Amino acid sequence: MNGKPSLVYVLIILWILVGILFAGTLIKRTTDHLDYLEQTEGYSSYFDDSFNTLQNFSFYLYALLFIAIIIISCLLVYGMLLDKKWSWLISIMLTSFLGMFLFMGIYMIGAASIMENFSEYFENFEFITYLLMIFIVPILLFILMRPEVKSHFGKN
């Protein structure tokens, strides 16, 4: 086959979108965490310290996770632009991992539907990211399993 299949370009665009969505979510979580730290400055008790430790651990864990997703999606864009064979396998692995965020999106929609102020959820960038993952993950898996895309990356 001469050249890249057009679906490879769709994959590149989707991985760029995934990187942008998780970068935005990381920025939103970071600003929220900094606001929380600013509000709790100077007020402390034993229970607050243990909660703050758990809150900080959770923030750093998610930050590392989101940074890893951003870096891997950038590497996948590079690998797919240059037709690297490893980019297909890593795309499958990351897409499977992103399925977790698909289920978080479904959960958040369910939680938002029972709340009275449903519009409040749509103002949250993280909610929008998880909501879009409901659509992006199946599209990525569908494209990655297409025979022309698999054969382009040397998989049969």
CA end-to-end distance (rounded Å), the chain: 14
For 131-146, the pLDDT digits (tens) are: 888 899 999 999 999 9
Least confident residue range of 15-19, 23-27, 55-59:
55-59
109-131: per-residue pLDDT in tens?
Answer: 777 777 766 666 667 788 788 88
Q: Taking the mean position of all CA atoms in its chain, how far away is CA 50?
A: 29
Residue 38 has pLDDT above 90, yes or no: no
